Chain A
Amino acid sequence: MEEEFVAFATARSGQLYRSAYFLTGGDAHLSEDLVQDTLGQMYAHWHRLNRPSWAGRIENPAGYAQTVLVRAYLTHRRRRSSSERPSRLLPEVAEDGPDSALRLALVEALSQLPPRDRAVVVLRYWEDRSVEETAAIVKDSSAAVRTRCSRALAKLRGLLGGDLAELVAR
C-alpha cells in the first residue's frame, strides 16, 4: 500500500507543485508546504481507493489530489488572511526551461489577483476544469465562478495583454 502511495506521490508531486506555484502566486515555500499537506491527506485517505463506490471510493486519485490542494490553499488563505505574507519576492524555482520568461510573467500577473480569483483562474485555465467542476472545488456557485473568472480575466488582460500573445507566440 505504501509503495503504491509513494509511486503515486512521486508521479504526481511535480504537477501538484506547479499548481501550487500558480495558486500561491509564486510562493515556493508555501507551495512545498501545500503539496506536502496534500500528499499527507492523500496518504491518510489512501485506503479509500479500495472501497466500493457507494462507500466513498476515490475514483481518480490524481484529480482528487488537485482538489485537495486547492482546498488546502483556500483554507490556508482563510486562516492567515489577516497576516498575508508578501509573495513579491519570486524565489528561483528549480526549473528554467525555454518558457521561464512566460512562466515568470504569468506568475507575476497571477500574484496580483485576489487569492480566490486566482484559484478559479488556475482551475479553469491550468487544470482545464469546467465552470461546474471549478465551482464544486471552490464550493461556490457556477455564477459566482463565472463572475470571478471574467473579473480576473479582465485584470490579467490588463496586466499581460499583448505580452502574453508575444510570449506564447515565441
Chain B
Amino acid sequence: MDGGTGGTGGGADGGDGEFEVQLGTAFGLTGGGPGPGPEVTARLVDGGLAAGRRRRRARRRRTVLLAGALTAAVAVGAGVLVVPRDLPGERTSAVELAHSGPDPDPAPVPLSDGVTVLLVGTDGALDARGGPVPEELLRGDLHSGAAGAADRPGTTDTLMLVHLPAGGGEVRELSLPRDVLAEDTDGREVGLDRIYPDAERAALESLGGDGVSGEALRTRAQEAGRLALLKSVERLTDVRIDHYAEVSMAGFYRTAQAIGGVPVCLNRAVDDPYSGVRLPAGRQELGAAQALAFVRQRHGVGAGSDLERTRRAQAFLAGVVEKLRSGGTLQSTARLDALYRALDGSLVVDRGWNPVDFVRQVPALAAGRGTLRTLPVTADGPGRYRPVAGAARRLLLGGDPATPAPSAPSASSVASVAELPELPEPVELGGVPCVD
C-alpha cells in the first residue's frame, strides 16, 4: 500500500479530527467544479423524465389490473377466484340489508347448490371510491356521452346474474335486459335500469335535506340505489342474490386495460358514430376504449334494441374468460391475486363476500364451460318488456333450460317469446363467439 505508508507519516501529527476536516474540505473542493456538462445534464433530465413516466404508467396499470380481471373474473368467475381476505375495493352492505328486513325473501338456494352473483355495470363516470375517471376516458374517443357528467347517478347499463354451481357444473349467466319492467321500492313499474339511479337520487334529496353532505352523502345514496336494485332484481327473477359486484364505466375501462386485448369476433364490420365503435369483421382483440364502445353500441346492432346489446356484453365476457383462461390467469392464484389487487378502487363488492370460503374453485370456469343467456321477455308495448314467469330461476338455477316453464302465466305470453326475433341466442363459454 504505497499511499498508506506515505499517509501515516503525514497524518501522524494530526488526529482523526483533523483528517475528518481534510476529508470534508476535499469533498467541498471537488464540489466547486463544473457540473456534468449540458449534454450529460440533458440526458439525465430526459432519462429521469422517461423513467418517471414509466413508473407512473406502471402504477396506473397496476391499479387498472384489478378492475379488468374483475369484470371478467368477478363477473364470471367470481367464485373461481381464490381471493385474499383483505381484498381491496369498496364494500357495500346492500346484500346484507336486502335479506335482513321483514320482507319475504326468495328462498335461499342451499349452499351446496352454489352461489348467485349480481353483476352490475353502470355508466357512472366515477370509480368505486368516487374518484374521477381516468383522463383517457374523458379526452379519448370513447363517446361516453352524457356519462361525462360526473355527479349524475349512473344508470345500470348492464345487469347480469351469474350462478356458480358448487358441484362443478357449468357456469350459468343470465343477462337482464335493462328495459324490462321492474317494481321499484314504491311498487311502481319502471325500466330496470331506472331503479338504481332513481333510488340514489331520492336518497340524495332526502339525505341532503337531513344535512348529510359530501362523501357520506354520495356513499349512502349509492347504497340506497344498490339496495333498491338488489331487491328489485330478486323480485323480478325470484332468485336470491348472494353477492353483488358493481363496476362503473371507468372501472370497466380500467378492467379492459388491465386484461389487455380481449378477443371478440364480429360477423360484420361496424362503424357506429354514436358509440365510437369502428371495427372490422372477424376475430380481433379489443383495446380498452374499443371494448367499451363494443359493449355500449346500440345503434346498428340487430334491431337496435337493448336485447341485442346484451349479446355483445356476453360475447365480451366470453372473450374475457377466454383471455384469462388461455393466459393461465384463471388457473393461477398469484395472477388472480394480482388482478384483484389491481382492481382496487374500480369495483364494489358486498361486505359479506368472502370468495375464499365458498369458492374453492369453479372448475367449469377454468375449463371454459358455461352458457350465457338472456332473460326471456314478452313484449308489452313498444320498449316495454315483461319477464317470462319462472324463467329466470329455471334458467339460472337448474332444470333443463330447454323445457318450457311449467307455470307459464299464459299461452299467449309464451307465444310472444317465440315471436321475438331479437331474443339473442345463448353464448357459450370456451371460445370466442361471433356476434353481430
Q: Which residues of A contact B (CB under 8 A)?
A: 2, 5-6, 9-10, 13-18, 22, 32, 35-44, 46, 93-95, 97-100, 102-103, 106, 109, 121, 125-126, 128, 150, 153, 156-168
B32: which A residues are within 8 A, CB to CB?
A: 97, 99
Contact of A32 among B25, B40, B53 (CB under 8 A): B40
CA distance A150 to B20 in the complex (A): 10
Complex CA distance for A87 and B50, rounded to whole angstroms: 27
Task: Say yes or no: is B208 at the interface (Cβ < 8 Å to chain A).
Answer: no
Given A36-B48, A40-B54, A42-B48: A164 touches B34 (CB 8 Å cut-off): no
Chain B 41-63 against A: per-residue CB contact (8 Å), 1 yes, 0 no? Answer: 10111011111111110010000
> Which chain B residues border A164 with CB–CB below 8 Å?
7, 10, 19, 22-23, 26
Q: Known contacts being A39-B48, A99-B33, A165-B22, is A94 close to B40, with CB within 8 Å?
A: yes
Closest to B57 in A: A44
Q: Which residues from B are CB-within-8-Å of A98?
A: 33
**Residues in A neighbouring B412, C-beta threshold 8 A:** none
Determine the main DSSP class of A at the interface with B.
Answer: helix
Q: Is A125 in contact with B27, judged by CB distance below 8 angstroms?
A: yes
Chain A residues lying within 8 Å of B3, measured Cβ to Cβ, are 109, 158-161, 163
B16 to chain A, nearest CB (A): 6
Within 8 Å CB of B34, what residues of A? 95, 97
Residues of A within 8 A of B23 (CB): 121, 125, 153, 156, 160, 164
Q: Which residues of B contact A (CB under 8 A)?
A: 1, 3-4, 6-11, 14, 16, 19-20, 22-27, 29-37, 39-41, 43-45, 47-56, 59
Q: How many A-B pairs with Cβ below 8 Å?
A: 170
A-B contacts besides A40-B51, A95-B36, 6 pairs, CB < 8 Å: A6-B45, A32-B40, A39-B44, A46-B52, A153-B16, A164-B23
How many angstroms from the CA of A97 to the CA of B40 in the assembled complex? 17
B56 contacts A43, C-beta separation under 8 Å: yes
User: B19 to chain A: which residues have CB within 8 Å?
Assistant: 153, 156-157, 164
Instruction: Looking at the assembled complex, report how far the CB atom of A34 sits from the nearest CB atom of chain B, in whole angstroms.
Output: 10
A45 CB to closest chain B CB (Å) equals 9
